[in-house]
Amino acid sequence: MSMDRRRFITISAASLSGALLAACNANPDRAQKLLALAERGNRRVEEGLFRHTAMNHVSPSAPIAGASFPKYRISKTVPIWDTAARGVWRLEVSGAVRRPLALTLDDLMKLPRITQKVDHFCVEGWNARATWSGVRVSDLARAAQATDDAHYVDFTSFDDDYHESWDMASAMHPQTLVAYGMDGYLLTPAHGAPARLHSPVKLGYKNTKYLTKVVFMPKQNGGYWSDQGYEWYGGT
Amino acid sequence: MATLVKRNHWVIRLTHWVNVVAIVIMAGSGMRIFNAHPAFARPGEHFPLNPWEGRPIPEWLTFGGWLAGARHWHFAMMWLLVANGLVYLAFLFFHGEWRDIVPRRGDARDAWEMLKFYLFVRRDHPAQAKHNALQKSAYFAMPILGVIIVLSGLAIWKPLTLGFITRLFVNYKWARFVHFVAMALLLLLALVHVFMVFAVDPYSLRAIVTGWYDRARSPEARNARPFYHLFGPAREVPAEREVPPV
């Protein structure tokens, strides 16, 4: 009896580890399917945990990263808006809205201003603090009268083809800003001038810099890093 | 064959081997994630507690290929690790096996005696129940490290939505540090555990696969130290020393 049991367990252990190895190496497609399933499940868990009342708290005395706040872009050179070639920079708010907007930096600065010291969480594992000034994306949605079809928001940039789309709930979080100021000054080109998306609710790569368009959409359309294999949700 | 006892319940054996798979993948993918920024300070900041700040973990120890791939493995396998850990802890609690690993009065002294035995200061193997006192403390520390790893992991996975957990570890940076150090300690314990299996009690391999264990070949019966009396002759041991299988 003990031999039978032993053989049974040995065989089960062998086939279990075989299946796992197959999942990891010999059959990457199956592993990818499993991982994609886990990502979908995780996204549901993350959306379920998400609350507009859950805020990023940074103590008023906590030091900011200042000049050492990391900079990053996709283009080979720092993208600078070329007014001569492209005209005055405007932020387009469009898509599933009743009143599309095209806001100059002056228009943006006339909207209710939020200034907040928050964390920036990078997917690489570091976080850095800065004080951001700008307009809540939820205020832009209200001004443009986003419709009931607006379930997602895409944030497009002029940093090559960089863009990232968000779920509506994260975009409407009170700490999600279209920021034009950093640490008390207007944004510099290195940090996404003239305006960028900034929020502690998503990982850094979801926070589009060099912003040109905020498009409300019924469906999500991926994003620069999401399309290359990073989680689309990318929430904190 | 009267010395043959059923030592490990099938739940213990199953959760043990699922744990091996889950921990190997979690640790490998975790180290690949760490390598995306192999430091605890953000760029431009100093972190005094890590002497190897900025130095990545050797590629061959990592799993997942690249940051995004490792993250997918990590966030998928974490569910298996947690589910398996909960089954194990619930079984231990309801089935009574917690008695095998929860420290008791006298364990510190027994551990000291075991250490003396391993260092040739003491001649005879101290009497023990299922595990010796050193094993007990290691097996007790593992689930505690597991809880710390899961909590600090949640703290860095969801620093905003689960910010109250992040604040348990002061902030994001310290939670990440705790997550890493607890992982390193757990891996160290696991390595020592595997070493001791092969150096002191290879017969326990059978007990963690089929459940059966020959008491006549226990380290206590063989008076075995690491690499000493490794395959000693079977000897009779008083039956009452072995905690009866439950």
The DSSP annotation for B224-237 comes to -BTTBSTTPPP---
Amino acid present at B85: G
CB contact under 8 A, B42 and A126: yes
C-alpha dist (Å) from residue A27 to A19, A24, A33, A133, B237: 10, 7, 10, 49, 50
Q: Give me the percent of chain A exceeding a pLDDT of 70.
A: 88
The predicted structure's pLDDT at residue B146: 97
Spatial distance between the Cα atoms of B227 and B235, rounded to a whole number of angstroms: 18
User: What tens digit of pLDDT does each residue of B114-155 get?
Assistant: 999 999 999 999 999 899 999 999 999 999 999 999 999 999
Q: CA angle, corner B90, sides to B86 and B96, nearest 5?
A: 145
Task: Give me the sign of the Cα torsion angle A65, A66, A70, A74.
Answer: positive
Q: The whole model's pTM is what?
A: 0.89
Asked whether the predicted pLDDT for residue B165 surpasses 90, the reply is yes
Report chain A's mean pLDDT, rounded to a whole number: 91
For residue A50, list chain B residues with Cβ-Cβ distance below 8 A.
161
The C-alpha of A200 sits at a distance from chain B's nearest C-alpha, in angstroms, of 7
Residues 106-135 of A with CB under 8 A from B: 119, 121-128
Q: Which of B21, B160, B205 to mutate to test the interface with A (most CBs of A within 10 A)?
A: B160
Asked if residue A35 lies in contact with residue B72, where contact means CB atoms within 8 angstroms, the answer is: yes
Spatial distance between the Cα atoms of A215 and A32, rounded to a whole number of angstroms: 31
Report chain B's mean pLDDT, rounded to a whole number: 92
- Tell me the Cα Rg of chain A: 22
Average confidence (pLDDT) over A145-172 = 97
Which H or E run contains B96? none
Task: Enter the ipTM.
Answer: 0.86
Asked if residue B151 lies in contact with residue B145, where contact means CB atoms within 8 angstroms, the answer is: no
CB contact under 8 A, B75 and A39: yes
Q: How many CB pairs under 8 A join A and B?
A: 112
The predicted structure's pLDDT at residue A29: 79
Which residues contact residue A215 at a Cβ distance below 8 angstroms, ignoring those fewer than 6 apart? A92, A93, A94, A95, A153, A154, A156
- Between A34, A42, A68, which is nearest B44 by CB? A68
Asked whether the predicted pLDDT for residue B227 surpasses 50, the reply is yes
Residue A89's φ and ψ, nearest 5 degrees, are -65, 130
Confirm or reject contact between B36 and chain A (CB < 8 A). Answer: yes
Helices (H), chain B: 10-35, 67-95, 107-118, 133-157, 163-168, 172-199, 204-209, 219-222
- For B112-153, give the DSSP string: HHHHHHHTTSSSSPPP-SSS-HHHHHHHHHHHHHHHHHHHHH
Asked if residue A167 lies in contact with residue A220, where contact means CB atoms within 8 angstroms, the answer is: yes
Residue B66's φ and ψ, nearest 5 degrees, are -145, 175
Counted residue by residue, chain B has a size of 246
**Span of A76-85, A189-198, B231-240 with lowest mean pLDDT:** B231-240
Confirm or reject contact between B67 and chain A (CB < 8 A). Answer: yes
Spatial distance between the Cα atoms of B153 and B42, rounded to a whole number of angstroms: 18
Asked whether the predicted pLDDT for residue A3 surpasses 50, the reply is no
